[in-house]
């Protein structure tokens, strides 16, 4: 059975760095799964910078929509997975006109798949429930879906960390 670690926190709080550092300490064949699609030049530069920060022997997969399909292909090939990040994955699915039920079902399928793996899985997501209520329906829908998905992952996780200013707070 896999060991699932959920890492959440605010934007630029150090979530990804904590996931990378934890994976390095875990030692093993590692796959980094980036969910961000290329949107503009600044984002492309940010992604290139993040790629350079990862160990050279890691395998990077960039998958914006089809995480379950990707895990069906590579799920047994690695000792460690990092998924970074769930909120971008949700954004991608919403931009593709996926409704809340489809997004929730997709995440549920992914979590069920993890039960069949023998590996470490680090899942990174932004905590969206500590800010202002968005002033538009799309923003509120995103916050609601992301909040529900985060709760699903946290409930299933063996460990949950909340990152504040680069410091991990173990919640579970």
Which residue out of 50, 74, 98, 152 is catalytically annotated?
Answer: 50
- Tokens representing 115 are 């039960």
**Do 87 and 146 meet the contact criterion of CB atoms below 8 Å apart?**
yes
Q: Is 59 annotated in the active site?
A: no
- Give whole-number Cα distances, 22 to 114, 141, 155, 166, in Å: 19, 32, 20, 13
Burial of 15 (0-12, 13-18, 19+ CB in 10 A): buried
- Give whole-number Cα distances, 68 to 64, 72, 88, 142, 146, in Å: 11, 6, 15, 21, 18
Burial of 81 (0-12, 13-18, 19+ CB in 10 A): buried
Measured distance CA(18)–CA(117) in Å, rounded: 22
Measured distance CA(107)–CA(23) in Å, rounded: 22
Measured distance CA(36)–CA(64) in Å, rounded: 6
Active site residues: 50
């Amino acid at each position: 059975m896999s060991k699932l670690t959920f890492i959440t926190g605010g934007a630029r709080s150090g979530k990804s760095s904590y996931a990378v550092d934890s994976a390095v300490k875990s030692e093993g064949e590692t796959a980094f799964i980036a969910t961000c699609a290329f949107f503009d030049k600044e984002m492309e530069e940010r992604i290139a910078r993040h790629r350079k920060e990862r160990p050279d022997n890691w395998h990077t997969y960039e998958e914006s929509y089809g995480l379950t399909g990707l895990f069906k292909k590579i799920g047994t090939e690695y000792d460690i997975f990092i998924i970074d990040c769930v909120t971008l994955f949700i954004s991608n699915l919403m931009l593709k006109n996926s409704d809340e039920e489809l997004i929730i079902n997709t995440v549920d399928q992914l979590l069920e798949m993890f039960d069949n793996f023998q590996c470490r899985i680090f899942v990174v997501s932004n905590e969206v429930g500590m800010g202002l209520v968005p002033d538009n329906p799309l923003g509120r829908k995103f916050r609601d879906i992301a909040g529900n998905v985060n709760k699903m992952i946290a409930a299933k996780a063996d460990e949950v960390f909340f990152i504040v200013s680069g410091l991990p707070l173990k919640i579970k």
